[in-house]
Amino acid sequence: MTRLQGDAGVVTTWSVVVVVACAAMAGLVLDGGAVLRAHSDAFAVAATAARAGAQELSETAAQGGDVVLDPTAAQDAAAAYLAARDATGTVTVTGATLSVTVQTQAELQLLTVLGASTVDVTATASVDALEAPT
Amino acid sequence: MVEVVLLTPLFGLLLAMVVLFGRVQGGRAEVEGAARTAARTMALARDPATAVEEATAQAATTVGEGSPTCRAMTLVPTVTEVEVTVEVSCQVDLAAAAMLPVDASMTVTGTASEVLDAYREPAG
């Protein structure tokens, strides 16, 4: 075992490690929290847009007793909700199912030292139009 | 080992910063969640205006009113013909981070809106 020349420098190394760890922890709490919030917000907006769109039922199909979405109206209603919230997303209508995918970005404040200033966040929600239970 | 003594305040400050960020982000996440829950509750009610009390109670549970991330909560609902918008605000207690130059509390706000169900049964 090598004998160290006194203890000078040892504590400094330890301090640097601890300070960096503490700063990283603060960064993860702040920016990790921002990413999580952006994700739940994206999902909530997608789900609400999907619910808004799923109200647009096809009248012709409804007359025959079928629950099918009116693709154009449903797409427009969901897109209108997204536009009103300044959200970017895509809307897909298949039969009685409507899916909305929202893309957003979380802004980083501390972890920007790692090179990225934003993190892309995507969330998808889909809604089925159902016949009311009798 | 003198350096450790000198650096202790710095460690304390960094840890206080972690607590501060945690409180603020936690508080924001809670008010946003509470606003969503409240908006959904009101949008599902036959008459949204009558569901304010229920929505407020749910929001208070979601934010855990009285906890450090929400000492006091306010809920402002807005009902229009087609949608419900709810704004929830909370007073976040920052006393635990008092060694940093921050106020003793901070207000965080979350907003959510929900489209009313066009085919819900009418009230009454």
Give pLDDT tens digits for A22-78: 899 999 999 999 999 999 999 999 999 999 999 888 888 888 888 889 999 999 999
What is the spatial distance between Cα B109 and Cα B35, in angstroms, rounded to a whole number? Answer: 9
Identify the residue whose tokens are 């959200």.
Answer: A87
ipTM of the complex in this document: 0.85
pLDDT at B72 over 90: yes
Listed range (A14-18, B2-6, B7-11) with the worst mean pLDDT: B2-6
Q: How confident is the model at residue B117 (pLDDT cuts 50, 70, 90)?
A: confident
Average pLDDT value for chain B = 89
Looking at residue B124, its pLDDT comes to 62
Strand order across the beta sheet in which A88-94 lies: A88-94, A97-107, A118-128
Under an 8 A CB cutoff, do A26 and B17 touch? yes
Looking at residue B110, its pLDDT comes to 95
pLDDT at A133 over 90: no
Mean pLDDT, residues A107-129 taken together: 90
**By the 8 A CB rule, do B38 and B112 touch?**
yes
Under an 8 A CB cutoff, do B1 and A36 touch? no
Under an 8 A CB cutoff, do A33 and B18 touch? no
Task: Print the SS3 string covering chain B.
Answer: CHHHHHHHHHHHHHHHHHHHHHHHHHHHHHHHHHHHHHHHHHHHCCCHHHHHHHHHHHHHHHHCCCECCECCEEEEEEECCCEEEEEEEEEEECHHHCCCCCCCEEEEEEEEEEECCCCCCCCC
Q: Which amino acid is at B70?
A: C
A72-116 pLDDT, tens digit each: 999 999 999 999 989 999 999 998 899 999 999 999 988 888 888
What is the spatial distance between Cα B116 and Cα B58, in angstroms, rounded to a whole number? Answer: 19
Looking at residue A102, its pLDDT comes to 96
**By the 8 A CB rule, do A52 and A125 touch?**
no
Burial class (CB in 10 A: 0-12, 13-18, 19+), B29: buried
Chain A positions touching chain B (beta carbons under 8 Å): 7, 11-12, 15, 18-19, 22-23, 25-26, 29-30, 33-34, 36-37, 40-41, 44, 48, 51-52, 55, 81, 85, 132
Q: How confident is the model at residue B41 (pLDDT cuts 50, 70, 90)?
A: very high
Q: How confident is the model at residue A11 (pLDDT cuts 50, 70, 90)?
A: confident
Buried-exposed string A67-96: b where 16+ CB fall within 10 A, e elsewhere: bbbbbebbbebbbebbeebebebebbbeeb
Q: How confident is the model at residue B90 (pLDDT cuts 50, 70, 90)?
A: very high
Looking at residue B5, its pLDDT comes to 82
Residues linked to residue A119 through DSSP beta bridges, in sequence order: A106
Mean pLDDT, residues B9-27 taken together: 91
Residues linked to residue A124 through DSSP beta bridges, in sequence order: A101
Task: Closest CB to A36: pick one of B3, B4, B29.
Answer: B29
Q: How confident is the model at residue A1 (pLDDT cuts 50, 70, 90)?
A: low
Looking at residue A7, its pLDDT comes to 58
Domain-by-domain residue ranges, chain A? 10-128
Looking at residue A2, its pLDDT comes to 59
**By the 8 A CB rule, do A109 and A34 touch?**
yes
Spell out the residues 6+ positions from residue A32 whose beta carbon is closer than 8 angstroms to its own.
none
How many Cβ atoms sit within 10 Å of the Cβ of residue A123? Answer: 20
Spell out the residues 6+ positions from residue A65 whose beta carbon is closer than 8 angstroms to its own.
none
Q: How confident is the model at residue B1 (pLDDT cuts 50, 70, 90)?
A: low
Listed range (A17-21, A33-37, B5-9, B23-27) with the worst mean pLDDT: B5-9
Q: Which amino acid is at A33?
A: G
